[in-house]
Structure 1
């Protein structure tokens, strides 16, 4: 067999052709900006949950989904799905990953395959996925993580013959949730697999050099009762763990949402923007994405992708609250795929600057090149001239590629703030050069011999340089994505296997003043090049959307003695007392969710229009111990079967802020919640009310604070326009151990 490296070099030599001298430089004309509309999977499916995305070396963006029926009945369960698009707008469905007849032999014939995670590893595509039942373990739901490999993103897929992470018995006759895998190839040279869910928590394990088997002992990175669906990216010296919380699949009351923590180590601990750990019982997490009152609820289980302009996007599933279920089979949530812009503000990711999921046309991810370059066949139309020729990828799925054997330059000027990206196989040194003017230039170089990535900025006699080593897993004989971004007086370059927040290496240099300019891009060296794009670098969004702010106080209850007029007790309890500036409410084994409806409520009619209700709550639920489901807080009530509830609640070993909704759906009581926090023994809780100007529908958004000054705004629930909900206070959920909720006051504010 001819060694891969020799075949690769021979392939380059065979297709190098002489080209005419470079044509005069021209300025590129702007292209029309495409738009996308959620759900992006709607053209080929009714549901497409737990989405994963990768850009193949053939230039297509591939979109994968969990095992579900693809359409309303009649539709068979597909064993994970595949679709693709050139532009994130027009999608083509390709089929399933597995067929019934080729299920992996180590799994049962009734196993489900959930939550695919797709990566490019050592020259092949690897799909990690959840297996719900294995042959080797007794009993049902012995979750494990499997993997399958393929030469192309469309398959054919070959299972690796056993688990990447085996089932994990709890010792109590069942198994921890070893589900929802997500790979990170980190700049420290190691590959890590994150996995897990509510029953057991999120964990991370190191993988062997193949990326197909776990090694060593896993490390727990979140508390057991909060998160699933992890996805980790490396950015600016931090590892960001993003994950989903709450029930994914409660139909029209699904409150699924996405949170983040960060760490300087892939192993954690991951803390939120206030320094609260995701491992704490009073669990932390900075909100990334939550429902905002439009049609979309249950927004989560996501992938983070970067378009060719450098803009990040979050790809996730959601539920249309007015069409929450597939018609058949019964009980299957309809969860199509959505995409929205992901911004980084003050060092934290947030969807659409905090605006949440979109239901109107939005700018599509940038996937095509400017400067006349055909990204999928970069040497096809003379957009670059020089030592540059057309070739074919004979060792992978790249298709039409360009072969560089010297220097090639774009025939048009690139923007001043530019992003250049390409998949590269570097037989020798490979460089990208921008803003060249005489001896001045910005140059990024991959050096396979020295095994380094270097960024150099030269202006006159001044040279600024940053160099990073390439990890042992990097090979110039395999495709690697190189991105070079010049923006705001800085150049940042990254090499990455999968372009999904992973990093083989990253370098950054602050540029000498006056170095940037609108000039051609030059590629030099010996390499195969594919998916070449040169576009204007994205303009980051740096300010969050405005949050509600309190204005004039329109009502205050200080609990100094008799309640002020307007209050009404529903199912009053003699144990609840008012006086001396507090409302003392001993917790009892009562509730207002479900069919029982035994809990007392203190209610009043709110003002018309927009307002904010707020209370100060003292409730010490301790930490770590199981106190299900002691709680207290604010309530919005139409009747006992149609209500919203915002409280500090004990959920198994965790303590969380829960903003839930109960409704009667065709005779069935449904309950679901958004989970927030963190909590403290003293909490401030808010509900912001407004109405939809077109429909009159009531909209309620949650917020919580541990100091009364710094607020975390959460999800939005709705109630019908033809109702007149009350606002008030509640407490309950359990009498053991004996606990008293103390409310210091209740207020209603106008909104500024």
Structure 2
């Protein structure tokens, strides 16, 4: 286990316990530690999570041998977990079993589920890689029974990619979309009205080396496309990271935080989560969940450096990486999402999501003892039960307005929500509720076809505001209404499943007199309504500043070179397999043509130019002019121990899968070393991390840190296109053995020329 490389950690707290039912009163002191699936399942790749209408959270994962440590050799098909608090989970079944697995799967493994709630049913979309398609199963409850709905994609799908890693998204106009794709393109298409098939044109919105795992949310007018790239599943050598692009349209173009189009033939920035040098490697393939305070959380998998691999299956054919489920706080800073303000995946105790309420409840205890009725039609509230909600309340309608409000009070800075269903009239979420004459209410008004908010002070409305609901909106099915009041700014959203894909959003200012401590409840007017999961919690405090990015210390002239000599590099530089043909010093630069040679596993034929590194922590930087055009040409810097143990940051050209000859210009951050879980330890190369966008002239950095406590070398990469603004990559680690030296390479395929302006080394 290792420590982060100059990244900040979070405080220490205790792991919470699973309640018998979703608790109704907040204590604000919950804590957790990753992985949240420890002791429950051995692995849970590609997780996606939803809050069920019964008040629990449910997570769905890729087919894997989840109970290997308990002696089960086989796999569970799309396993399901359940939690009352998002941190303590229990096994809740699987989508498919031998009894109900559809024959059309033709024996394929099933990957990467996506879960949604629509028309009072749960939709689980899943990848069928053996058929190169996406399937759908639906159920009335989060755990089934599941009905096979067949394939979602036509054949061919119209997307020039692997047809896996799907995610559904519904826009504020009610238009549903499906995103999918892998190796190396992500596509989007509209869906039919019942969300069972795509229809119409298919649009490519992103491409990149091993880009996959797309997941879209909408926030503050932007559509954010989360995705993962590089290698997901190679144990301690997995370079997976979560990245993001944003757009003003669900069809793109999506750009990263440097304005680079996700369709550009280069690596991308806007890194949301990557390895930091602590226990967690290859974080990726995320889902998304919002707690009861309004704080967003990334749900994703990671690989423990001290326990990276599952045992091979008894038949010897299935060798999988162990990828347990992690959750961490997702912060939105300057319009971009980032995990824990940039601190990355957490290790150790952390403040837990808010999953209990300051006021309200889920109506699952068979009583209305903590609620009281108000209004002219107060007498109509009744408890009801069904398999979807367990318990909820109904009102038959009639004359006047009825309120059912909590005894408890929530603070003035509040997030309130309710699940509402409208047969006739209007159903509302009331909050900051003092009495029937003093409250704020958000109505689903069937007669007006709108989300309507009203602020009532002293028995008088201070102005309604209406936002149309989409054509075809199903009032008679469950919808979630969420209201956040921060100061005097009110934001309301209507969605089916709390997945940041609202079908209606409204913002307005309210009078200061209305922004007060109060109860939360449900309201009925003019017809039959139903409500569930009605509650409020203190609104989260957003994190607004990132963890400081790494900076370099003073220049170390003795370990730097401006290449202002002539001829071949001399002392203190030395060659491995050199001098390289054509490498010359002139005009303040080292010019070095790429070689038809490699530095990879047993194929160690490339020249390497080396010099000693300084003692202690340091950063080495080079400015390189390099405009390669053919696949696999690369040049860059190394921290080199020997041919089988090194770290590399290079500008590389890599082919685009299904690209018809197109190539990608990539910032490729790799390592080579022995895999500790092989006997004897065998040298392997990584599935690399990919850094920021490339340019013909760019700056490359490798920052070294010695973790003496764990005898480990930690190296973080960074890239820049102007020498000032840096994209900081993740961290690779290797056990410390021999000394590392600073190196340069220009290799793999002849035909390009690398020009190094300098090598500068800084003390950290």
Structure 1 and Structure 2 fold alike (TM over 0.5): yes
Pick from 758, 761, 764: which aligns with 1:745?
758
The CA distance in 2 between the partners of 1:30 and 1:94, in whole Å, is: 25
Match of 1:381 in 2: 369
Match of 2:608 in 1: 601
Pick from 337, 346, 349: which aligns with 1:349?
337
Pick from 557, 567, 572: which aligns with 2:573?
567
Match of 1:192 in 2: 177
The CA distance in 2 between the partners of 1:225 and 1:658, in whole Å, is: 10
The CA distance in 2 between the partners of 1:399 and 1:715, in whole Å, is: 45
Aligned-pair Cα RMSD in Å: 2.3
Local SS of the residue matching 2:236: helix
Match of 2:286 in 1: 302
Structure 2: unaligned runs, 5 residues or longer: 1-23, 656-662, 676-680
Q: Is the 8 A contact 2:362 2:532 kept in 1?
A: no
Pick from 113, 118, 126: which aligns with 2:115?
118
Query: TM-score, normalising length from structure 2?
Result: 0.88
Pick from 682, 685, 694: which aligns with 2:700?
685
Do the aligned partners of residues 743 and 465 (structure 1) sit closer, same or farther apart at CA in structure 2, a change above 3 Å counting?
farther
Pick from 660, 684, 687: which aligns with 2:670?
660
Q: Is the 8 A contact 1:148 1:159 kept in 2?
A: yes
Local SS of the residue matching 1:538: coil
The CA distance in 2 between the partners of 1:741 and 1:464, in whole Å, is: 67
Q: Is the 8 A contact 2:123 2:137 kept in 1?
A: yes
After superposition, residues 328-367 of structure 1 pair within 5 angstroms as 328-329=312-313, 331-367=319-355
Q: Aligned pair 1:180/2:177, yes or no?
A: no
How big is each residue's C-alpha offset from its partner over 1:166-216, in whole Å with a ceiling of 9 and x where there is no partner? 343899xxx8400011000111211101000114x1001111001001111
Match of 1:22 in 2: none
The CA distance in 2 between the partners of 1:168 and 1:649, in whole Å, is: 32
Q: Aligned pair 1:55/2:51, yes or no?
A: yes
Q: Which moved more, 1:222-231 or 1:688-697?
A: 688-697
Local SS of the residue matching 2:482: strand
Match of 1:700 in 2: 715
Q: Is the 8 A contact 1:392 1:398 kept in 2?
A: no
Match of 1:425 in 2: 421
Match of 1:139 in 2: none
How big is each residue's C-alpha offset from its partner over 1:194-239, in whole Å with a ceiling of 9 and x where there is no partner? 000114x100111100100111121111125341001000111111
Do the aligned partners of residues 308 and 590 (structure 1) sit closer, same or farther apart at CA in structure 2, a change above 3 Å counting?
same
Pick from 440, 451, 454: which aligns with 2:452?
454
CA shift for structure 1 position 668: 4.7
CA shift for structure 1 position 77: 1.7
Q: Is the 8 A contact 1:385 1:411 kept in 2?
A: no
CA shift for structure 1 position 282: 2.2
Pick from 621, 643, 646: which aligns with 2:646?
643
After superposition, residues 311-710 of structure 1 pair within 5 angstroms as 311-329=295-313, 331-371=319-359, 373=361, 376=364, 380-386=368-374, 387=378, 389-394=381-386, 397-404=388-395, 406-427=402-423, 428-435=425-432, 441-457=439-455, 463=462, 466-513=465-512, 515-525=514-524, 527-555=529-557, 556-561=560-565, 563=569, 565-572=571-578, 573-622=580-629, 627-652=630-655, 653-665=663-675, 666-692=681-707, 694-710=709-725
Do the aligned partners of residues 477 and 170 (structure 1) sit closer, same or farther apart at CA in structure 2, a change above 3 Å counting?
closer
Q: Is the 8 A contact 2:431 2:441 kept in 1?
A: yes
Q: Is the 8 A contact 1:410 1:520 kept in 2?
A: yes
Do the aligned partners of residues 608 and 508 (structure 1) sit closer, same or farther apart at CA in structure 2, a change above 3 Å counting?
same
Q: Is the 8 A contact 1:308 1:366 kept in 2?
A: yes
The CA distance in 2 between the partners of 1:37 and 1:390, in whole Å, is: 41
Q: Is the 8 A contact 1:456 1:509 kept in 2?
A: no
Local SS of the residue matching 1:318: strand
The CA distance in 2 between the partners of 1:261 and 1:203, in whole Å, is: 14
CA shift for structure 1 position 458: 6.2
The CA distance in 2 between the partners of 1:158 and 1:440, in whole Å, is: 47
Local SS of the residue matching 1:694: helix
CA shift for structure 1 position 410: 2.6
Corresponding residue pairs, total = 703
Q: Which moved more, 1:324-333 or 1:291-300?
A: 324-333
How big is each residue's C-alpha offset from its partner over 1:75-118, in whole Å with a ceiling of 9 and x where there is no partner? 2022110110111222111222112343213221x211111111
The CA distance in 2 between the partners of 1:694 and 1:256, in whole Å, is: 26
Q: Aligned pair 1:158/2:118, yes or no?
A: no
CA shift for structure 1 position 61: 0.7
Q: Is the 8 A contact 1:59 1:375 kept in 2?
A: no
Q: Is the 8 A contact 1:618 1:683 kept in 2?
A: yes
Q: Is the 8 A contact 2:714 2:731 kept in 1?
A: yes
How big is each residue's C-alpha offset from its partner over 1:709-734, in whole Å with a ceiling of 9 and x where there is no partner? 11111100112234321222212121
CA shift for structure 1 position 497: 0.8
Local SS of the residue matching 1:690: strand
CA shift for structure 1 position 47: 0.9
Match of 1:7 in 2: none
How big is each residue's C-alpha offset from its partner over 1:496-553, in whole Å with a ceiling of 9 and x where there is no partner? 1111121110101133445422223353215322122210001111100011112211
Q: Is the 8 A contact 1:193 1:204 kept in 2?
A: yes
CA shift for structure 1 position 391: 1.6
Q: Is the 8 A contact 2:625 2:756 kept in 1?
A: yes
Structure 1: unaligned runs, 5 residues or longer: 1-27, 135-142
The CA distance in 2 between the partners of 1:77 and 1:316, in whole Å, is: 20
The CA distance in 1 between the partners of 2:494 and 2:724, in whole Å, is: 42
Q: Is the 8 A contact 2:358 2:408 kept in 1?
A: no
